[in-house]
Structure 1
Amino acid sequence: MVHSRKIEPPLFEQLIISNEEISPGVHVISFQRDFEFLPGQVVKIGVDSEHPPRIYSICSGNQENEVFILFNIKEDGFLTPKMGAMIPGDKLLVSKPYGSFVGGDEPAWWIATGTGIAPFYSMVRSGSPENKKLIHGVAYLNQFYFEDELEWALGENYVRCCSRESSCSVIPGRVTKYLTEIDRLPDIKYYICGKPLMVVEVRDLLIERGVSFENILAEIYF
């Protein structure tokens, strides 16, 4: 049997415009937008041709002049420490956007942990928060990235769950605990973005509670 070789998308040079540390070890890096994209899509990013690129969700709106990428620095990694040290004028290698983790105007719940908030922030920035509920789970309060803007856009439909710190406006515990305690889950679309274990746990929980498999869309990051 002949197997077709997977063709990686080409990468193009992009000049860094800004690189801001918004929380300890978490950055938002930007470059000029020269492509169209749908909110929720991803790009591959690299710093040279010798090391494989990694996939990141775009977290800016699709009408903004700049493309923003949210990432956390992995000290034992190759790419993110280099990205974290970049300054305006440095160059990134970036693919054209792709991916099917995109929604429409229908009612939906968005479920994220950590930097998995990125595609949903893009959706909000692109003007599609109507009929949506966003549930964001983190370990510490300083990991609710973009929370002021999300709260302004979504109001009571912006739910924050924190497992290791407490605040009067935050629900204690993990996202799965919050979902378990809801009496009845609505029969709508559910979008999940987070690390593999979280995505599997939430997906299984939703299915156990009566959500059909075809109504669950997932985006995994590593």
Structure 2
Amino acid sequence: MNSNTDQKNKLQTTKILENNEISPGVYVLKFKKIKEFKAGQYVGLTTDLSVTPRLYTIASGINQDEVHILYNLKDDGWLTPRLSEIKPGTELFVTDPEGDFIDDQSPAWWIASGTGIAPFSSMFRSGLKKDKLLIHGGRFAHSFYFEKEFLPELGDNYIRCCSQESGEGLYSGRLTRYLQETSELPKDCRFFLCGSPEMVIEVRDLLILRGVEYNKIVAEIYF
């Protein structure tokens, strides 16, 4: 049995329902849900069985019939330039959901940069809203994906840290500066970090330096 056949046996076939640009260079891909998943998990996607699937965290809620994938266009990537151009009805190959970046009902701070907001969107849309503080870092005012959903529900527990623009309701500066300026960090909750390797390492070290126990930090890196 050749490797392409092995690969095909591990993948489910579906079709794209929608592929919308929601911000410059940032898209939400939607396809019909094939397998149940837990909020915070990821799937592998490819449009070509000869190419290894790329991993993307699911942004939709566990009770939604569609799977939403948030992705940003990377000109030097293989998949995202192709994804950004394909139309509804195009065939897509999807792996089973995996991953243990999972929260529960206990208090937590969710800290994300860029498209690292995806797992927290899934958690939020799955009903995890009480006792959650969401901190999202982005460069521009248009970088806060799904803010129209978060704002009404989370209110003051939704912090948008904007590093290169100012605007109403935005914290002017990087999320690391916001964390440094926060007078006291809670001792009775977990901290979930999702974003670039640089962001995750910097925030993790900052939290530990400020007294957060290492085992209360849960991290997922986006490449």
Q: Give the TM-score range, shorter chain.
A: over 0.9
Residue 198 of structure 1: CA displacement? Answer: 0.5
Which amino acid in the other structure matches residue 208 of structure 1? L
Deviations along 1:113-166, one digit per CA (max 9) or x if unpaired, are 000000001111111111000000000111111111111121110000000000
Matches for 1:1-222 after TM superposition, within 5 Å: 10-187=10-187, 188-222=189-223
Residue 92 of structure 1: CA displacement? Answer: 1.2
Residue 50 of structure 1: CA displacement? Answer: 2.0
- Counterparts of 1:48 and 1:153, CA distance in 2: 39
Consecutive unaligned residues in structure 2, runs of 5 or more: 1-5
Counterpart secondary structure, 1:93: strand
Residue 39 of structure 1: CA displacement? Answer: 0.5
- Counterparts of 2:11 and 2:221, CA distance in 1: 21
- Counterparts of 1:134 and 1:194, CA distance in 2: 13
Segment drifting more, 9-18 vs 210-219: 9-18
- Counterparts of 2:26 and 2:150, CA distance in 1: 18
Residue 97 of structure 1: CA displacement? Answer: 0.5
- Counterparts of 1:98 and 1:22, CA distance in 2: 26
Which amino acid in the other structure matches residue 194 of structure 1? G
Which amino acid in the other structure matches residue 214 of structure 2? F
Consecutive unaligned residues in structure 1, runs of 5 or more: 1-6
* Cα contact 1:124–1:153 (8 A) shared by 2: no
Aligned residues: 216
Q: RMSD over aligned Cα, in angstroms?
A: 1.3
Residue 49 of structure 1: CA displacement? Answer: 2.0
- Counterparts of 2:129 and 2:37, CA distance in 1: 17
Match of 1:3 in 2: none
- Counterparts of 2:141 and 2:91, CA distance in 1: 32
Counterpart secondary structure, 1:129: coil
Question: How high is the sequence identity, in percent, across the aligned residues?
Answer: 50
- Normalising by structure 2, we get a TM-score of 0.94
Which amino acid in the other structure matches residue 171 of structure 1? Y
- Counterparts of 2:70 and 2:124, CA distance in 1: 15
Which amino acid in the other structure matches residue 72 of structure 1? N
